[in-house]
């Protein structure tokens, strides 16, 4: 059997190679792999380098808006949920060594002794139609937007106001 390593889809490629070799997938469950010393990644399959996203449905006058789904992953991966107002430390997950590698596990918790917290903030230096600001509000993050075109700034304000109204109505 030929082994192929592609980091972006290791689990998918592994299953494909097993099937091509005539092996039953059930014979290679996680416990079997761990017993053989070939542990799978404890956090699951790598999300990969290619993301398949749906298009956005913004009907405003901005010519270059992008879908909210494009903002979601990087926003949640890079903007902390909570930040200490005293020292600026973000909430963190506990560290645990699994298979010889330190991994962040468990729920997010305060990482400093202070007790004053605020949501993390994202900076959008080209606010445009406010897609990043809208995604930040949807996921409980703060945002700072910079837009030199007053028409686009007004579009962003209208878009955010409309979303806030629908949120209050629910």
One-character DSSP codes across 37-67 = T-PPPTT-S---S----PPP---SS-TT---
Q: What does each C-alpha distance from 142 to 80, 101, 123, 138 come to in angstroms?
A: 10, 33, 9, 10
Residue 118 corresponds to which tokens in the numbers above? Answer: 């605020």
Task: Tell whether 5 is covered by a domain.
Answer: no
Task: Tell whether 108 is covered by a domain.
Answer: yes
Number of separate domains in the chain:
1
Q: What are phi and psi of 128, to 5 degrees?
A: 55, -125
Strand spans (E) along the chain: 82-84, 92-98, 101-109, 117-119, 121-124, 142-145
The residue among 53, 91, 88 whose CA lies nearest residue 72 is 53
Residue 63 has pLDDT above 70, yes or no: no
Task: Tell whether 22 is covered by a domain.
Answer: no
Domain that holds residue 142: 30-48+66-169
Lowest mean pLDDT among 56-60, 110-114, 149-153: 56-60
Residue 57 has pLDDT above 60, yes or no: yes
pLDDT at 29: 55
- Label residue 66 by pLDDT band (50, 70, 90): confident
pLDDT in tens, 85-139: 999 999 888 888 888 888 888 888 898 999 999 999 999 999 988 999 999 999 9
User: What is the 8-class DSSP label of residue 26?
Assistant: G
Task: Tell whether 1 is covered by a domain.
Answer: no
Report the relative pairing of strands 82-84 and 117-119 from DSSP bridges.
Answer: antiparallel
pLDDT at 80: 92
Residue 73 has pLDDT above 90, yes or no: no
Q: What does each C-alpha distance from 85 to 17, 29, 75, 115 come to in angstroms?
A: 51, 46, 20, 9
Of 49 and 38, more confident: 49
Cβ-in-10-Å burial (0-12, 13-18, 19+) of 117 comes to middle
Task: Tell whether 61 is covered by a domain.
Answer: no
Residue 161 has pLDDT above 90, yes or no: yes
Task: Tell whether 16 is covered by a domain.
Answer: no
Task: Tell whether 154 is covered by a domain.
Answer: yes
CA dist 115 and 113 (Å) reads: 7
Q: What does each C-alpha distance from 78 to 42, 60, 67 come to in angstroms?
A: 21, 28, 18
pLDDT in tens, 14-45: 444 444 444 444 444 555 656 666 556 555 66
């Amino acid at each position: 059997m030929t082994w192929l390593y592609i980091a972006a889809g290791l689990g998918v490629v592994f299953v494909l190679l097993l099937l091509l070799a005539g092996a039953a997938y059930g014979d290679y469950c996680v416990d079997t792999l761990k017993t053989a010393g070939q542990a799978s990644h404890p956090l699951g399959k790598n999300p990969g380098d290619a993301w398949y996203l749906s298009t956005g449905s913004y009907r405003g006058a901005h010519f270059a808006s992008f879908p909210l789904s494009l903002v979601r992953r990087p926003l949640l991966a890079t903007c902390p949920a909570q930040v200490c107002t005293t020292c600026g430390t973000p909430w963190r997950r506990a560290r645990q060594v699994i298979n010889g590698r330190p991994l962040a596990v468990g729920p997010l918790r305060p990482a400093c002794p202070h007790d004053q917290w605020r949501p993390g903030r994202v900076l959008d230096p080209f606010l445009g139609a406010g897609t990043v600001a809208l995604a930040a509000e949807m996921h409980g993050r703060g945002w700072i937007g910079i837009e030199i075109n007053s028409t686009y700034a007004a579009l962003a304000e209208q878009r955010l106001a409309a979303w806030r109204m629908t949120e209050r109505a629910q």
